[in-house]
Amino acid sequence: DTEVTQTPKHLVMGMTNKKSLKCEQHMGHRAMYWYKQKAKKPPELMFVYSYEKLSINESVPSRFSPECPNSSLLNLHLHALQPEDSALYLCASSSGTGNYEQYFGPGTRLTVT
């Protein structure tokens, strides 16, 4: 099973709301990633968890808060977002060793109003 699942598929939230994005993989991968993707652009790395520890934070604003409850799950907590945060949020996983090929989920389309 090479599937990464993400929920919800679409999310509309106001600037004062708190919401969470969820990601799950069952490939035994030990590295998980959050990316932000704007239209017609490559994905931009936000966070990397390696063996359930945050290993890379690409200077992401604190209104985005990642969490890795266990090796299969990754959450992204959202609070007080801005309209410019509207984008496709992609989760990915990799084995955590070797070649670091990544397996992506279908993404959550986020709109901030």
Partner 1 sequence: GDSVTQMEGPVTLSEEAFLTINCTYTATGYPSLFWYVQYPGEGLQLLLKATKADDKGSNKGFEATYRKETTSFHLEKGSVQVSDSAVYFCALSDRYSVNAGKSTFGDGTTLTVKP
Backbone dihedral region of 108: left (phi > 0), alpha (psi from -120 to 50 degrees) or beta?
beta
Give the nearest distance from C-beta 44 to partner 1 in angstroms.
Answer: 9
Contact by Cβ (8 Å): 81, 60: no
Backbone angles phi, psi at 33, to 5 degrees: -135, 145
Pick the binder of partner 1 from 106, 110, 111, 113 (CB under 8 A): 106
Interface of this chain with partner 1, residues 45 to 84, rule: CB under 8 A: 45, 48, 50, 55-56
- By the criterion CB under 8 A, which residues form the site for partner 1? 4, 6, 31, 40-43, 45, 48, 50, 55-56, 90, 92, 94, 96-107
